[in-house]
Copies of this chain bind each other. A is one copy, B any other.
Amino acid sequence: MEVNKHISGQFNTELETIRSSVLAMGGMVEQQLSNALEAIHSQDIELARNIVETDLKVNAMEIAIDEECTRIIAKRQPAASDLRLILMISKTVTDLERMGDVADKLARMVVKNAGRTQPPLVSLDSMGRLAIKMLHDALDAFARMDVEAAVRLYHEDDNIDRQYESIIRELMTYMMEDPRTIPQVLDVLWAARSIERIGDRCQHISDYIIYCVKGKDVRHTKIEDVNSLG
């Protein structure tokens, strides 16, 4: 009995440690994205180079957490709910790593385009802030394994999608009015696209949280049906 308690105490510590690692990784990705917006805004090459370097750390964290997940499963042979938690962590870090790649890509764009005239980027910044806010909320929902907060994230993604559509229209007009700007504007288009994808990846994290808590896989479920779970 004492031994069991001890083992399960150790196991709980391991689970807590790994959850903290996910939050640390998520916080780092949030900071990377925020720095990337700042680097775009102020055309700060030094900051951009820093982001590219830090992305290697983000990648290393993904692998380390994933290995820890495998190790815990092999060692602890966890049952249903703990197993679901570990599997969802393994998926979550993959999405976080890909969001980190977005910051890396934006930073490389700043380095590549250094010194050239920039197309208007104001609305990109505002969509970027929405995406970072959504990631922050996703990590919050993860920390508290909060299904209601996870469901709310779906609506945040709608806002990002709307801003994205309006940015695309804006940039399209810009290109049509002055076709010489097309190459630069396309870079902004790619940037907008990859920021929009952050919203989708945060939604994946929502799905994992709901799966983990409810034991129900809501990937590919309609929003109304997801709402009824909240």
Chain A residues 38 to 89 lying within 8 A of chain B, measured CB to CB, are: 56, 59-60, 62-63, 66-67, 69-70, 73-74, 77, 79-80, 83-84, 87
Taken residue by residue from 164 to 184, chain A's Cβ proximity to chain B (1 for < 8 Å, 0 otherwise) reads as: 000010001001100110110
Most B-side CB within 10 Å, residue of A67, A70, A79: A70
Contact between B83 and A73 (Cβ–Cβ < 8 Å)?
yes
Contact between A67 and B217 (Cβ–Cβ < 8 Å)?
yes
Taken residue by residue from 100 to 140, chain A's Cβ proximity to chain B (1 for < 8 Å, 0 otherwise) reads as: 00000000000000000000000000000000000000000
6 tightest A-B CB contacts, nearest first = A59-B220, A77-B77, A176-B179, A179-B179, A63-B217, A176-B182
Chain A, interface residues (CB within 8 Å), range: 35 or more
Would A217 and B74 be within 8 Å (CB), given that A172-B186, A179-B176, A183-B172 are in contact?
no
Contact between A176 and B172 (Cβ–Cβ < 8 Å)?
no
B residues in contact with A66, CB < 8 Å? 217
Instruction: Give Cα distance in the complex from A62 to B204, angstroms.
Output: 14
Q: Name A77's closest neighbour in chain B (CB-CB).
A: B77
29 contacts between A and B (CB under 8 A): A56-B220, A59-B219, A59-B220, A60-B220, A62-B219, A62-B220, A63-B217, A63-B219, A63-B220, A67-B217, A70-B87, A73-B73, A73-B83, A74-B79, A74-B80, A74-B83, A87-B90, A90-B90, A91-B91, A91-B94, A168-B186, A172-B186, A175-B182, A176-B179, A176-B182, A179-B179, A186-B189, A190-B193, A193-B193
